[in-house]
Amino acid sequence: MAKSEPNNLPQESVKQLLDNQTRELEIRAQETKLREKELDQNHEIAVKSLQAQEKWVNRLPNERRKDWTTLAIIGGIFSLMVAALIIYLFHIGESEAAKYILAIISSAIVSGGGGFGFGFHKGKKSNNSQEISE
DSSP 19-50: HHHHHHHHHHHHHHHHHHHHHHHHHHHHHHHH
Residue among 20, 39, 42, 16 nearest 28 (CA): 20
What is the helix, strand, coil percentage profile of the chain, to 5?
Answer: 85, 0, 15
Q: State the angle between helix axes of 61-91 and 95-133 in degrees (0 to 180), rounded to the nearest 10.
A: 150
pTM of the predicted model, to two decimals? 0.41
Domain map (residue ranges) of the chain: 11-58, 62-134
Q: Are 101 and 85 in contact (CB under 8 A)?
A: yes
C-alpha atoms less than 13 angstroms from C-alpha of 32 in its C-beta half-sphere: 6
pLDDT tens figures, 18-51: 999 999 999 999 999 999 999 999 999 999 999 8
- Identify the DSSP state of 75: H
What pLDDT score was predicted for residue 68?
Answer: 82
Q: Which of 9-18, 43-52, 63-72, 101-110 has the lowest mean pLDDT?
A: 63-72
pLDDT at 44: 95
